[in-house]
Chains A and B, each alone.
Chain A
Amino acid sequence: MSDPQAPLRLGADRERCAGAGMCALTAPAVFDQDEEEGLVVLLHPAPAPEHRAAARMAVGLCPAGAIALGSPDS
């Protein structure tokens, strides 16, 4: 991760999601959990500069590897 402010493209895989909520806790402007199943909802696949650092951290913290950098949306 060279430039923390570099443009970011995110993908989320709801099949892999374990609903632990780390993403919604860490980067609430970028990720949410749906009301029914508690699975990841990607609010902003290309987050604004001020949310990129938190989004990267959320990717690193995801216990299930369900969110990724640079992958297409699922």
Chain B
Amino acid sequence: MSHDPTAVGTTTGATTDDITADDLPTLPTDRHTGCPFDPPEGLTALSDEPIRRMRYADGHVGRLVTGHATARAILADPRFSSRYELLHLPVPMGGVSGEIPPAPAGDIIGLDAPEHTRYRRLLTGKFTVRRMRQLTERVEQFTEECLDAMEQAGPTADLVEAFAQPVPALMICELLGVPYTDRKRFQGHVATIFDQTADAEATGEAYTALLQYLAELVLAKRAEPTDDLLSDLTTSDLTDEELAGVGGLLLAAGLDTTANMLGLGTFALLSNPDQLDALRADPGLAGQTVEELLRYLSVADPLLRSALEDVEVEGALIRAGETVTVSVQAVNRDPRRFPDPNRLDIHRKATGHLAFGHGAHQCLGQQLARVEMAVAFPALLSRFPTLRLAVPPQEVPLRNRSNIYGVISLPVTWDKE
């Protein structure tokens, strides 16, 4: 492991003022044209060392982690905080490049223990492996309905609009108790929140509008509880504001992540016909295909932490206050952990990838995502045996500037029977 000579031996408690930030790399974000599944070229070049210094959007000198073992160590270590207000952004996100406001009530991603633990405990029982498997039939039903509509309107479609978005949207709406017919009211807000090109004002307005919608919904659930997660939570000690915050987070997290895995994942399978054929021939490979696509695509990226005290990791001394950017896509392509990492191989054991993160914040909804994808991919391929791109692959528009990577649209076509 590499030693960072500039870190060890500097004055105790020193900030990073003595390091010339201008000489340091920034986080590469733009993908190489024609290789939409591979990390940005510049990122691969920075991945030769598992952890290195990096310049942030506001000039802060922090770290970039690209090594699998280093990422696991940091994400599992409570000396690294997730509180938004302690973080520096690697690149401007959601129109913000400088100081980040603290997490609003209920936003568990931006909180540490014990606040984080309190919220998380209320939710974990709702997302167990068993509960999510019990939802398989509902997922199958939603999937078939979307495929029916797509087939009737075809033989061309935008797969994102017809399939990748509605399947997870229907499921998270059902689980939370959000009327699906309301989705147009909040889907635009969610898109703005995740849009890195939106300015701070637009992001703030979208967030407020989403919370406003959920606040109304919480009041409705209190008045008339139904059989869903939000109604269940009204019996907890959470305030209305906290409930709306939790609801907003789950809605945002459940809509966009799986949708982009389904859209980009289909694109990746169509671009790797041998893998596609293998999955078609044996739908029993669905589970491990999902794991491999999670590893290969790593759509939710990067993860940020801030050191609460000086911590030594893999020979590098990370100073209190330093922000660490864990590049999940780089970590999941770490050749020390995954042999031949740039190859999509649904026969490999991809378990152990960090696509859902690691540590106390590891994705709460991951078992739901697994069920949705394990149902949706084989159903799509079986319904459309001749599914193919309707445009050259270079013309598929990519979400290059979003916290959740994916395709903006995926024009597909098939032969009508």
Query: How far, in Å, is B142 (CB) from chain A's closest CB?
Result: 22
- A63 touching B129, Cβ below 8 Å: no
Residue of A nearest to B76 (CB): A65
A18, chain B: closest CB distance, angstroms: 5
B359: interface (CB < 8 Å): yes
Q: With an 8 A cutoff between CB atoms, is A43 at the interface?
A: no
| Chain B nearest CB, measured from A31 CB (Å) | 9
| Residues of A close to B358: CB separation below 8 A | 63
A25 interface residue per 8 A CB criterion: yes
Interface size on B, residues (CB 8 A): 26
Min C-beta distance of A40 to chain B, whole Å: 10
Within the complex, the shortest CB–CB distance from B247 to chain A, in Å, comes to 18
Closest to A65 in B: B76
Residue interface bits A16-60, CB-to-B below 8 A is 1, else 0: 001111101110100011111111000000000000000001001
Q: Is B79 an interface residue (CB 8 A)?
A: no
In the complex, whether B416 has a CB less than 8 A from a CB of chain A is no
Q: A18-B360, A19-B125, A64-B360 are in contact. List 16 more A-B contacts (CB 8 A).
A: A18-B124, A18-B362, A19-B123, A19-B124, A19-B127, A19-B364, A20-B366, A21-B129, A21-B367, A33-B125, A35-B125, A36-B125, A38-B127, A63-B76, A64-B359, A64-B362
Q: Indicate if B222 sits at the interface (CB-CB under 8 A).
A: no
> Interface 1/0s, chain B 342-383, versus A by CB < 8 A?
000000000110001111111110110010000000000000
Asked if residues A24 and B352 are in contact (CB atoms below 8 Å), the reply is no
Bound-state CA distance A53–B351 (Å) is 14
A61 touches B129 (CB 8 A): no
Nearest CB in chain A: distance from B186 CB, A: 26
Q: Is B399 an interface residue (CB 8 A)?
A: no
B132 to chain A, nearest CB (A): 8
Q: Considering the chains assembled together, what is the distance between the CA atoms of A19 and B367 in angstroms?
A: 11
- Interface: B184 (CB within 8 A): no
Let me know if B121 and A20 touch, CB within 8 A.
no
Q: Tell me the nearest residue of chain A to B359, going by C-beta.
A: A63
Docked Cα-Cα span, A1 to B314, in Å, equals: 22
17 A/B residue pairs, CB under 8 Å, sorted by A: A18-B120, A19-B120, A19-B127, A19-B364, A20-B364, A21-B129, A21-B366, A25-B367, A33-B130, A35-B128, A37-B125, A38-B124, A39-B124, A63-B360, A64-B76, A64-B359, A64-B360
**A contact residues around B121 at 8 Å (CB):** 19, 37
Q: Among the interface residues B352, B357, B360, B361, which one has the most CB atoms of the partner chain A within 10 A?
A: B360
Chain A's nearest CB lies how many Å from the CB of B72? 9
Contact B126 A20 (CB under 8 A): no
Given contacts A21-B366, A63-B358, contact A26 B128 (CB under 8 A): no
Interchain nearest-CB distance for B79 vs A (Å): 14
Residues of A near B120 (CB, < 8 A) are: 18-19
Q: Give the complex CA separation of A12 and B127 in angstroms.
A: 20
CB distance from A37 to the nearest CB of B (A): 5
Minimum CB–CB distance for A4 against chain B, Å: 15
Question: Smallest Cβ distance from A5 to chain B, in angstroms?
Answer: 19
Nearest chain B CB to A17's CB is how many angstroms away? 8
